[in-house]
């Protein structure tokens, strides 16, 4: 994989003393599979790693193998902070693949009943069956009830996952969406998270013949990159 700064220039100070940088980072996917997200950190530096500005962010970008993407990272620094005749920029980051699994679907339980869904996603970071617990509370005196779901998601891998999304979609008998709930979480290496939520006060008549579809998606780091560049500053 290649990562380099295709553009890095610094303007002359404006009336407020601000020096505006124009920065473009070009990244090529050197992995055998597609990439769906790029995480990156950029640092604007002076001598001895004096840091003027730092940015942690990401960009959703589909990159097929050998395909490239360019990210704009423009920033600024005030002239009063700069003692150097040049400044540098450094970027580090990760390319992430997308793991996705449709866990399955469950019909709407009767009042006071529950169901369980067992499915093994077959991810390298999650090699055991996930259990989704789905229940319906008793109807109260006002005719209201909740549909509740719970799931424990474990990461047996050695990498920190910054984005794991558990999704539950409630649909009616005609396949029309009633409510869509997404839970995006981070999972530390060799750790787990517990998802617990509910569909709030749905109408019983709307749920006849309905169901809930559960799925999971994760963005998994597959390659790291680093790039740096230096540019001269205009003389005072």
Q: Clarify whether residues 129 and 210 are in a common domain.
A: yes
Alpha-carbon distance 98 to 36, whole Å?
A: 6
Which pair of tokens denotes residue 183? 């839970």
Which pair of tokens denotes residue 79? 């002239």
Quickly state the pLDDT bin for 17 (edges 50, 70, 90).
confident
Quickly state the pLDDT bin for 49 (edges 50, 70, 90).
confident
Q: Clarify whether residues 45 and 127 are in a common domain.
A: no
Q: Clarify whether residues 114 and 189 are in a common domain.
A: yes
Output the pLDDT for position 42.
Answer: 94
- Domain span at residue 84? 3-98+222-232
Q: Tens of pLDDT along 170-208?
A: 999 999 999 999 999 999 999 999 999 999 878 899 999
Quickly state the pLDDT bin for 126 (edges 50, 70, 90).
very high
The b-or-e profile of 179-203 (16+ CB within 10 A means b, else e) is eebebeeebeeeeebebeebbeebe
pLDDT at position 120 over 60: yes
Alpha-carbon distance 194 to 192, whole Å?
A: 7
pLDDT at position 235 over 80: no
Output the pLDDT for position 99.
Answer: 97
Mean pLDDT of 76-95: 91
Q: Clarify whether residues 201 and 142 are in a common domain.
A: yes
What total of structural domains would you count in the chain? 2
Q: Clarify whether residues 194 and 108 are in a common domain.
A: yes
pTM score, whole prediction:
0.87
Output the pLDDT for position 151.
Answer: 97
Asked if residue 76 lies in contact with residue 21, where contact means CB atoms within 8 angstroms, the answer is yes
Mean pLDDT of 21-38: 95
Mean pLDDT of 52-76: 93
Please report the sign of the dihedral spanned by the C-alpha atoms of residue 65, residue 70, residue 73, residue 79.
positive
Q: Tens of pLDDT along 159-168?
A: 999 999 999 9
CA angle 223, 152, 211 (to 5 degrees): 105
Output the pLDDT for position 1.
Answer: 62
Alpha-carbon distance 42 to 139, whole Å?
A: 54
Q: What is the CATH number of the domain that holds 67?
A: 2.60.40.10
Q: What are phi and psi of 48, to 5 degrees?
A: 55, 35
Output the pLDDT for position 201.
Answer: 77
Number of Cβ within 10 Å of residue 174's Cβ equals 7
Q: Which residues contact 19 (CB under 8 A, 6 or more apart)?
A: 10, 11, 12, 13, 76, 77, 78, 79, 82, 233
Quickly state the pLDDT bin for 74 (edges 50, 70, 90).
confident
Q: Clarify whether residues 136 and 75 are in a common domain.
A: no
Q: Clarify whether residues 164 and 129 are in a common domain.
A: yes
Asked if residue 125 lies in contact with residue 159, where contact means CB atoms within 8 angstroms, the answer is yes
Q: Tens of pLDDT along 87-108?
A: 999 999 999 999 999 999 999 9
Q: Which residues contact 205 (CB under 8 A, 6 or more apart)?
A: none
Q: Clarify whether residues 52 and 139 are in a common domain.
A: no
Q: Clarify whether residues 179 and 130 are in a common domain.
A: yes
Q: Clarify whether residues 227 and 154 are in a common domain.
A: no
Q: Clarify whether residues 141 and 203 are in a common domain.
A: yes
Output the pLDDT for position 236.
Answer: 52
Q: Clarify whether residues 70 and 114 are in a common domain.
A: no
Alpha-carbon distance 234 to 79, whole Å?
A: 11
Q: Tens of pLDDT along 195-205?
A: 999 998 788 99
């Amino acid at each position: 994989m290649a990562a380099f700064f295709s553009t890095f220039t610094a303007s002359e100070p404006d009336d407020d003393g601000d020096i505006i940088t124009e920065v473009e980072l070009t990244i090529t996917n050197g992995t055998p599979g597609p990439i769906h997200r790029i995480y990156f950190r950029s640092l604007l530096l002076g001598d001895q790693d004096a840091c003027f500005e730092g940015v942690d962010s990401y960009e959703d970008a589909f990159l097929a193998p050998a395909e490239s993407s360019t990210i704009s990272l423009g920033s600024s620094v005030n002239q009063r902070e700069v003692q150097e005749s040049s400044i540098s920029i450094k970027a580090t980051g990760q390319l992430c693949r997308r793991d996705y699994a449709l866990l399955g679907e469950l019909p709407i339980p009767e009042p006071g009943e529950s169901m369980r869904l067992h499915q093994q996603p077959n991810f390298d970071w999650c090699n055991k069956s996930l259990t989704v617990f789905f229940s319906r509370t008793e109807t109260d005196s006002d005719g209201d009830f909740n549909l509740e779901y719970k799931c424990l998601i474990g990461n047996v891998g050695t990498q920190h996952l910054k984005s794991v999304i558990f999704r539950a979609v409630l649909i009616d008998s005609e396949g029309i969406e009633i409510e869509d709930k997404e839970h995006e979480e981070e999972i530390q290496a060799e750790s787990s998270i517990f998802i617990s939520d509910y569909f709030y006060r749905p109408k019983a008549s709307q749920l006849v013949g309905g169901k809930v579809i559960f799925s999971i998606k994760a963005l998994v780091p597959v390659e790291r990159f680093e790039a740096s560049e230096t540019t001269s500053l205009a003389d005072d």
